[in-house]
């Protein structure tokens, strides 16, 4: 929201958007293809429960998953917010839309941290 009143917190949200965009662009296609299509369709043997659990319990995997999930959500929040403004012409709902978008990203990040911490 570029107002003429000087400072905004835009660069902060943009940095999260950019970081999420990069991480998602590098990592999501391959993970989605393997976990969401290749394994369910039987093209690849699914990992055993114990092995999959051991993988996500590794501290580096937890850190990676937290970064990927959280930043992907902030990427969505920022981009979707402006899509709502541009696509649906609802710029007057500025505060409500921003709260809904960034709020969802914060909530999912907290849930992710809780799940990963309890693993």
- Residue of 10, 15, 30, 43 that binds other proteins (CB under 8 A): 30
What region, left, alpha or beta, does residue 6 occupy, with left being phi > 0 and alpha being psi -120 to 50 degrees?
left
14 binds other proteins (CB under 8 A): no
Residue burial 74-100, b: 16+ Cβ < 10 Å; e: rest: bbbbbebbeebbeeeeeeeeeeebbee
Binding to other proteins, residues 84-113 (CB under 8 A): 86-89, 91-92, 94-95, 108, 111-112
Taking the C-alpha atoms of residue 102 and residue 99, their distance in angstroms, rounded to an integer, is 6
Structure tokens at 66: 């937290």
63 binds other proteins (CB under 8 A): no
- Residue of 15, 32, 63, 110 that binds other proteins (CB under 8 A): 32
Nearest distance, CB of residue 23 and other proteins, angstroms: 10
Taking the C-alpha atoms of residue 100 and residue 46, their distance in angstroms, rounded to an integer, is 36
Are 104 and 73 a contacting pair, CB within 8 Å?
Answer: yes
Please report, as ranges, the residues that interact with other proteins according to CB under 8 A. Answer: 1, 4, 18, 20-22, 24-37, 39-41, 44, 46-47, 49, 51-56, 65, 68-69, 72-73, 75-76, 79-80, 82-83, 86-89, 91-92, 94-95, 108, 111-112, 115-116, 118-119
């Amino acid at each position: 929201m570029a107002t003429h009143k000087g400072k905004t917190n835009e660069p902060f949200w943009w940095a999260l958007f950019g970081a999420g965009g990069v991480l998602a662009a590098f990592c999501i296609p391959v993970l989605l293809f393997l976990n969401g299509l290749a394994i369910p369709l039987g093209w690849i043997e699914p990992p055993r429960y114990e092995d999959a659990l051991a993988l996500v319990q590794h501290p580096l995997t937890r850190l990676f998953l937290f970064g990927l999930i959280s930043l992907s959500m902030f990427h969505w929040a920022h981009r979707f917010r402006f899509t709502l403004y541009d696509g649906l012409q609802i710029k007057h709902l500025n505060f409500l839309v921003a709260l809904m978008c960034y709020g969802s990203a914060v909530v999912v990040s907290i849930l992710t941290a809780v799940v990963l911490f309890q693993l």
